[in-house]
Amino acid sequence: MISIVLVEPEGDMNIGMIARSMMNMDVENLVLVSPRTNHLSENARAFAVHAVPILEKASVVFSLDEALRGCDVSLAVTRRIGQWRQQDVFLPHWREVMSPYAGKKIALVFGREKSGLTNDEISRCDLVLTIPSSDVFPSLNLAQAVMTVLYEIYRTRWKSSHPSPYHTVKREEFQGMLAMIIETLETMGYFKTVPRERLEAYLRKLLYRMAPDETSAMIVKNLFRRIQGRLMALEKALERTDSSTPKDRP
């Protein structure tokens, strides 16, 4: 279970926006440490949109220690690099580094809009989590930082159920698609001038790179079937015209 801990947040709009992104990313538990604003204001609710229940259920506590009570592991989200780099977690390595803590109670601790977390607050957390960013302007807006961390965690779960972007077709259907294309080209006499084997090999590679799924293989196959049908119909019509008015042939 993930908790978002905000230390002394100042903007109600920010808190609302963060609640929204929490709901977007299936995280519910919001903890506010001595907030400097009303997290139930009209502004906060407007920015939360459908995530008002997250605001309403948020716990308000008076110290970071209180916020971290009961957590299995806490991460201070900051760009400040400690003396010993090994201790840091970079966000894109979340899966690799944090997998031993999957399913545990994890607190993600974010600092104030302007000044972030103090050194003392960072040292109260178990790990330091850093979002890699540009050297020219590394500091992210608070709500943007929360969104980014939540996305990385959501992404880890999402990718485990969607490991590949491709759902490629079975070989048989792939062959059927390619054969239909070749047959169509045959119908129109294409191989009178082009070597059939070479073109077929070339098209095969091109189509493999396209990585078609079942639907797209079927669409392509049917498309060529229609072209072939049309070609044959036209030729037949032409033959008829041919035999009746031979001189008009184009």
Binding site residues, a copy of itself, CB under 8 A: 17, 20-21, 23-26, 47, 49-51, 84-86, 89-93, 96-97, 131-134, 136-141, 143-144, 147-148, 151-152, 154-155, 158-159, 162, 164-165, 167, 212-213, 215-216, 219
Chain Cα centroid distance, residue 234: 48
Output the smallest distance, CB 244 to a copy of itself, in A: 44
Output the smallest distance, CB 51 to a copy of itself, in A: 6
Nearer of residues 2 and 25 to a copy of itself, judged by Cβ: 25
Nearer of residues 156 and 187 to a copy of itself, judged by Cβ: 156
CA–CA gap between residue 122 and residue 110 (Å, rounded): 10
**Exposed/middle/buried for residue 37 (C-beta within 10 Å: 0-12, 13-18, 19+):** middle
**DSSP code per residue over 153-180:** HHHHHHHHH---S--PPPHHHHHHHHHH
Output the smallest distance, CB 163 to a copy of itself, in A: 10
Please answer whether residues 21 and 147 qualify as being in contact, where contact means their C-beta atoms are separated by less than 8 angstroms: yes
Nearer of residues 151 and 191 to a copy of itself, judged by Cβ: 151
SS3 of residue 134 by DSSP: coil
Nearer of residues 34 and 176 to a copy of itself, judged by Cβ: 176
CA–CA gap between residue 90 and residue 100 (Å, rounded): 16
Output the smallest distance, CB 32 to a copy of itself, in A: 20
